[in-house]
Structure 1
């Protein structure tokens, strides 16, 4: 399968797939004699997983650690559980911020005054 076909199938840009391969987040796929890559459904799920986490703001080092945790077939260690909990808490903060932004933008579309959107979202401190 050409990488462009895999990109269309997985919904992840070709350059991102190549990046994941270079960084070792996605194993280099076997190749056919024609030199086309041979991707699996598991590869597609993995690149979607990575791409979604990256779009939610996880860093490359967090992705690497999270993948190593997910790839292990044993119970989570205390350190692993703490790491995952930190990500969950960070995502909760991001979700709350996203919810406030959505509410503010919907109000904007319904004709509320436009000035001071940041103040409307965050109050005078402008912090999440």
Structure 2
């Protein structure tokens, strides 16, 4: 299928798909004699997974490292565990901020004044 069709199917922009291929995050697909790429459903799942991880704030370096750890058939090394712990810590911090934002937005929707909401979002964080 054309990359534009694969992009529509996977929900990931064509430029991003090509970038993942160049960086080795996605294997270069087989090609038809017409030079169109031939993608599978597994390729679509991989592209969506990578794109979702990036949307969670993981860097390309982290993606490459995480994929290499996942591909290994052995237990995690101490360095791997430390890497995973770092990502977990980052995710926990983002989740805490997301939870806080959700609470504030619900309060705003319930009629609280914007100044009160802004203080709750930013004032408490600076006071701790």
For normalisation by structure 2, the TM-score amounts to: 0.90
Count of residue pairs brought into register by the alignment: 128
Q: Deviations over 1:52-82 (max 9, x none)?
A: 1100111111111111111222221121111
CA distance in structure 2 between the aligned counterparts of 1:58 and 1:127, rounded to whole angstroms? 28
Counting helix residues as a fraction of each chain, which structure ranks higher? 2
Q: Which runs of 5+ in 1 are unaligned?
A: none
Q: Which runs of 5+ in 2 are unaligned?
A: none
3-state SS in 2 of match to 1:76: coil
- The root-mean-square deviation of aligned C-alpha atoms, in Å, is 1.8
Question: Aligned partners of 1:20 and 1:83: how far apart in 2?
Answer: 21
Normalized against structure 1, the TM-score is what? 0.90
Runs of 4+ in 1 over 2 A off after TM superposition: 116-119, 122-128
* 1:27 matched residue in structure 2: 27
The correspondence of residues 1-128 of structure 1 with structure 2, limited to 5 A, is: 1-126=1-126
DSSP 3-state at the match of 2:114: coil
